[in-house]
Amino acid sequence: MLNQVVLVGRLVKDVEVRTGENDTKYSFITLAIPRSYKNHDGVYETDFVECILWNIVANNTAEYCKKGDIIGVKGRIESRKVEENGINKTVLQIIAEKVTFLSSKKED
Calculate mean pLDDT across residues 20-25.
93
Average pLDDT in the chain = 94
Instruction: Note the helical H segments in the chain.
Output: 55-64
- Sketch the domain layout of the chain as residue ranges: 5-103
| Strand-pair category, 87-103 with 44-54 | parallel
For the domain bounded by 5-103, which CATH number is listed? 2.40.50.140
pLDDT at 7 over 80: yes
What pTM was estimated for this model as a whole? 0.85
Q: Among candidates 44, 20, 19, which has minimal Cα distance to 34?
A: 44
pLDDT digits (tens, 9 = 90+) for 66-90: 999 999 999 999 999 999 999 999 9
